[in-house]
Amino acid sequence: MSDAVVRPDPESEAELAFEGALRPSSLEEFVGQQKVRRQLQLLLEAASLQNRSPDHILLAGPPGLGKTTLAMIVAHEGARPLRMTSGPAIQHAGDLAAVLSSLVPGEVLFVDEIHRMARSAEEMLYLAMEDFRVDIMVGKGAGATSIPLELAPFTLVGATTRSGLLPNPLRDRFGFTAHLEFYEPEELLRVITRAAALLRFEIGQDALTEISGRSRGTPRIANRLLRRVRDFALVNGGPADRDAVQAALELYDVDDWGLDRLDRAVLTAIVDRFAGGPVGLSTLAVSVGEEAETIEAVVEPFLVRTGLLSRTPRGRVATPRAWQHLGRRPEPTALDDL
Ligand SMILES: Nc1ncnc2c1ncn2[C@@H]1O[C@H](COP(=O)(O)OP(=O)(O)OP(=O)(O)O)[C@@H](O)[C@H]1O
Ligand SMILES: [Mg+2]
């Protein structure tokens, strides 16, 4: 049940509409990530002064930190049309050629999960990014010829939760890479204060503070928890105060530190089954019944950032802090390894 809150089905229409309604549409409204915001601002302003399309931009970071939102802002700030697609939708070079050849001048092309694009398409993209040109192969075997096709100048905005999987030639062709960081509780407080106002939801200051401290440093989760607290207050008829937040989050298995069921399952597995680690990623994934990719891209970044897990060359290790958080005493051997 908790996974539906913290990792809801991205295709769920209600959740998408809800996210859309709360998405900031300008850099000004975008909370936090100050460095990235200033870097983007400069890049966009310079392009507009020179009357050209902004450089290609790569947005990297864990889910829910604002990559899609920033891509939309890049288009919106420059009053440019936006085309959205994703890596998994581009399974052949032809899929990409179709998109690229239909772009209008100055358009922003957003490719979500760009690390999952087909290899043949990646190679086509290199040339397109550099020279605004693609070579279309016509025919097969000895009679095959390639026909060059000029493209309208465009700005590629790529998003990835796994920048390490991008081949270097692709990574190098982005003029700017933004690494999004987890948000501080004060920043999340600003995100949900704004969201509560947009939703016309009356909620106490200390309730908002409590939510922002338990949202895994992630605006998407903060907004979703806000919504669950609103449900809770509505159904139970009480005020949306700190007690309501605590009761709602307990119901959805979000603990004091904002860890959800899967976060705790990972830590518990390392501690209980592997004596604190080190344990390899794939073994760990199997033992909690999840994809290794989910563990690596979704679960681990936050656990590492909170100092509960460390990645060592020999595998994942639960830190003494993790043992403490789970209410266990570290075994001496586990400590020796750190
Ligand atoms: N800096 C921010 N300020 C205010 N709201 C934000 C910010 N970043 C994200 N949000 C909110 O969080 C939600 C999720 O953000 P977004 O969809 O951009 O994340 P994402 O990085 O694209 O995630 P994914 O990797 O899952 O695609 C948005 O709907 C938006 O309301
Ligand atoms: Mg996104």
What CATH architecture does domain 261-336 belong to?
A: Orthogonal Bundle (1.10)
Q: What DSSP assignment string belongs to 181-240?
A: -PPPHHHHHHHHHHHHHHTT----HHHHHHHHTTSTT-HHHHHHHHHHHHHHHHHH-S--
Give binding residues for ATP as ranges: 22-23, 64, 67-69, 130-132, 173, 183, 220
Lining residues, ligand 1, CB within 6 Å: 19, 22-24, 30-33, 63-69, 161, 191, 219-220, 223
pLDDT on residue 17: 79
Q: Which residues contact 59 (CB under 8 A, 6 or more apart)?
A: 67, 70, 71, 157, 158, 159, 160, 177, 178, 180
3-class DSSP assignment, residue 239: coil
C-alpha 133 – ligand 1 centre gap (Å): 32
Identify whether 68 is a catalytic site residue: yes
Domains of the chain, by residue range, sit at: 33-179, 185-251, 261-336
pLDDT of residue 260: 95
Taking the C-alpha atoms of residue 184 and residue 197, their distance in angstroms, rounded to an integer, is 20
Which CATH topology does 185-251 take? Helicase, Ruva Protein; domain 3 (1.10.8)
260 labelled catalytic: no
Which positions make up the binding site for DNA? 311, 316
Cβ contact 262:284 at 8 Å: no
Pairing of strands 145-150, 176-179: unpaired
Q: Would you state the pLDDT for residue 1?
A: 41
Question: Could you tell me whether strands 155-160 and 145-150 are parallel, antiparallel, or unpaired per DSSP bridges?
Answer: unpaired
Cα 29 to chain centroid distance, Å, stands at: 19
Give the residue among 82, 79, 92, 132 at the shortest CA–CA distance from 112: 82
Residue 273 identity: R
The pairing of strands 176-179 and 309-312 is unpaired
Structure-token pair, residue 203: 């909620």
What is the 337 CA–ligand 1 centroid distance (Å)? 37
Residue 201 CB coordination number (10 Å): 16
Tell which atom from ligand 1 comes closest to the C-alpha of 70: 18
CATH-assigned architecture of domain 33-179: 3-Layer(aba) Sandwich (3.40)
Q: CB neighbours of 266 closer than 8 A, spacing ≥ 6?
A: 284, 288, 295, 299, 300, 303, 309
Please state, in angstroms and rounded to a whole number, the distance separating the CA atoms of residues 164 and 297.
Answer: 11
Task: Give the closest residue (by CA) to ligand 1 atom 30.
Answer: 23
- Confidence (pLDDT) at 9: 57
Residue having the nearest C-alpha atom to atom 1 of ligand 1: 31
Predicted pLDDT of residue 142: 86
Q: Are 287 and 273 in contact (CB under 8 A)?
A: yes
Calculate how far, in angstroms, residue 322's C-alpha sits from the geometric centre of ligand 2: 30
The pTM of the full predicted model, rounded to 2 decimals, is 0.91
Q: Which of 110, 112, 104 has its CA nearest to residue 132?
A: 104
Q: Which residues have a Cβ under 8 Å from the Cβ of 234 and sit 6 or more positions away?
A: none
- C-beta neighbour count of 237 within 10 angstroms: 6
- Out of 5, 65, 180, give the residue to mutate to test ligand 1, the one with the largest number of ligand atoms within 8 Å of its CB: 65
Residue 296: both structure tokens together: 């690596």
Q: Given this model, what pLDDT does residue 7 score?
A: 59
> Tens digit of pLDDT per residue, the chain (338 long)?
445 555 555 557 777 777 888 899 999 999 999 999 999 999 999 999 999 999 999 999 999 999 999 999 999 999 999 999 999 999 999 999 999 999 999 999 999 999 999 999 999 999 999 999 998 888 888 888 988 999 999 999 999 999 889 999 999 999 999 999 999 999 999 999 999 999 999 999 999 999 999 999 999 999 999 999 999 999 999 899 999 999 999 999 999 999 999 999 999 999 999 999 899 999 999 999 999 999 999 999 999 999 999 999 999 999 999 999 999 987 665 555 55
